[in-house]
Amino acid sequence: MLLPLLFAGGVQAQQVDFKRVSRSGDELLAYRWVDADKREHLTSFTLTRDAIKEAEESFREFSLAAMWRYLEVDLRNEVEKFGQGTHLNLSRTKDGLHWTIQAPDQKTADLAMQKTKTRLAQDEKTYLTQHLRHRVDDRRIMVDYAAATSALTQPMKAVARALGETPGIEDDDRARINLALGFMQEIPYAVLEDKERRGGDFLPAPAMLAQNRGDCDSKAVTLAAILKTYARSRRMAMVTMPEHAILAVEIPAKQGDWTVQSQGRQYVALEAAGPAMAPIGRVGSRTGKYLQEGREIEIWPLN
């Protein structure tokens, strides 16, 4: 997900200060920031060093090219089980692996092809699951937003507790969600993808917070993981569109709110990317265009 959402004339998110302090076994993260109403907040919490390291390794190690290399080794190992006379002819492109098998007879060739296809499917699924992805169809591999939200909920409980201790916030879900949304928007936006790391643009929440940077879907999933604790009764969905993603939450809509509907549920839009401080239900002009037309959006329920 590549593009930050800009709002003409909108109030920009303001991060006054960020500190990361290493302690025994964990990292203290402290953010001083100003919300859209010009109120200053201090939000601080600790994340374990292991959680941050695991998230950073997942981001650093995953790319489509790395996955194809991993699967190529497995396919060659599978064919080697058939012994001499059976040979794998394999080519790798940016879109995947293509191979044929030479064997002493057709029966062996057919069996080897069946085994390699089965192993490829199993090993690809394992690799993708480890990196919070899944195959959507023959053409697309995406972040598994529901799985990622569930996996990141536990480490994000510390963030939910910190936000819950913020003074002066009304005791209702809309106010809590608005606070969490503003916190996410003030984290600097960063483009995480490059041409060499195709598919490696998702920074899991502990790494995103520790590095103090994130793109649209990294921020949206982090927000969802926080809200699983901070507004636990609310259903949520990711909404994707060309080069962008937002979160949406099932909460009563107010006049002027942008909403989406899926499976009989209505969700209110949350524009987590920043840098604009957009409250619940407000979105950028490009997002609004896609939501209004409804032709190039996909909705992914999270719970």
CATH of the domain at 100: 3.30.70
Give pLDDT, residue 4: 47
Answer yes or no: is pLDDT of 303 > 50: yes
Position 11 confidence tier, pLDDT thresholds 50, 70, 90? low
Same domain, 43 and 108: no
Over residues 94-152, the pLDDT tens digits come to 778 899 999 999 999 999 999 999 999 999 999 999 999 999 998 889 999 999 999 99
Count of domains observed in the chain: 2
The answer to the question of residue 7 being in a domain is no
Give pLDDT, residue 191: 86
Helix (H, G, I), strand (E, B) or coil at 14: strand
Out of 99, 130, 161, pick the residue that ends a domain.
130
What does pTM read for this prediction? 0.91
Same domain, 206 and 85: no
Same domain, 78 and 26: no
The CA distance from 152 to 134, in Å, is 16
Out of 109, 130, 151, pick the residue that ends a domain.
130
Same domain, 172 and 109: no
Helix (H, G, I), strand (E, B) or coil at 236: strand
Position 37 confidence tier, pLDDT thresholds 50, 70, 90? confident
Same domain, 104 and 173: no
Over residues 73-91, the pLDDT tens digits come to 999 999 999 888 899 999 9
Same domain, 156 and 266: yes
Same domain, 42 and 85: no
Answer yes or no: is pLDDT of 256 > 80: yes
* Identity at 250, one-letter amino acid code: E
Out of 130, 151, 182, pick the residue that ends a domain.
130
Q: Which residues pair with 289 in a beta bridge?
A: none
Q: What is the mean pLDDT of residues 221-227?
A: 98
The CA distance from 251 to 221, in Å, is 18
Same domain, 156 and 69: no
CATH number, domain of 289, equals 3.10.620
The answer to the question of residue 232 being in a domain is yes
Residues in CB range of 261: below 8 A, 6 or more apart: 267
Average pLDDT, whole number, for the chain? 91
Over residues 167-212, the pLDDT tens digits come to 999 999 999 999 999 999 999 999 887 665 566 789 999 999 999 9
The answer to the question of residue 226 being in a domain is yes
The answer to the question of residue 274 being in a domain is yes
Same domain, 101 and 233: no
The CA distance from 190 to 274, in Å, is 10
Same domain, 121 and 46: no
Answer yes or no: is pLDDT of 292 > 80: yes
Token pair, residue 22, equals 């290493």
Give pLDDT, residue 177: 97
The answer to the question of residue 106 being in a domain is yes
The answer to the question of residue 138 being in a domain is no
Same domain, 196 and 272: yes
Largest CA distance in the chain: 77
Q: For a pLDDT cut of 70, what percent of the chain falls above it? A: 93
Answer yes or no: is pLDDT of 54 > 70: yes
Same domain, 155 and 225: yes
Q: What is the mean pLDDT of residues 268-277?
A: 92
Give pLDDT, residue 1: 46
Residues in CB range of 234: below 8 A, 6 or more apart: 173, 177, 227, 249, 250, 251
Q: What is the mean pLDDT of residues 224-236?
A: 96
The answer to the question of residue 126 being in a domain is yes
Domain housing 87: 64-130
The answer to the question of residue 246 being in a domain is yes
Query: 79: how many CB neighbours lie within 10 A of its CB?
Result: 23
